[in-house]
A = this chain, B = another copy of it.
Amino acid sequence: MSANDGEVKLVMAYIRPDKLGDVKKALADVGAPSITVTSVSGRGSQPARKGQYRGEEYTVDLHQKTKVECVVADIPAEDVVAAIVEGAKTGEPGDGKVFVLPVESATQIRTDKTGPEAV
């Protein structure tokens, strides 16, 4: 149990919505199937894209994305990040980002278990 030095980590990713299936599969393969998914919108570093609709110009500056949260204890956070990158990559701009945050405590509601076993 030296994964993450015994600590709990929140791996948080912003990905393309149509890559969620591949990311779920990659996470299950690495032993981290428990996830929470949120519909979000966002923008990265590219300038806003201009379009035309019925003769009107408009600007698309927020794109639909999917946020995936995966809290892990026994699986190294870096393996989870690698799985998400593998599942989410197309190589085109807009593929997204993965961030890891520290978690100080974890509790499983059904059992009152706390710590790494709760995750």
Interface residues of A (CB under 8 A from B): 8-10, 13-15, 24, 33-45, 61-62, 65, 67, 71, 77-78, 81, 84-85, 88-110, 112, 118-119
Q: A109 CA to B92 CA in the complex, in Å?
A: 10
B91 touches A110 (CB 8 A): yes
Q: How many subunits of this chain does the assembly comprise? A: 3
B85 touches A99 (CB 8 A): no
Tell me, rounded to whole Å, the shortest Cβ–Cβ distance linking A48 to chain B.
9
A88 touches B109 (CB 8 A): yes
A99 touches B103 (CB 8 A): yes
Which residues of B have CB within 8 Å of A42? 34-37
Given contacts A36-B14, A36-B65, contact A81 B96 (CB under 8 A): no
Q: Supply 10 further A-B pairs (C-beta < 8 A) apart from A95-B108, A98-B107.
A: A37-B62, A38-B40, A81-B105, A85-B109, A91-B110, A95-B110, A97-B109, A97-B118, A99-B103, A100-B104
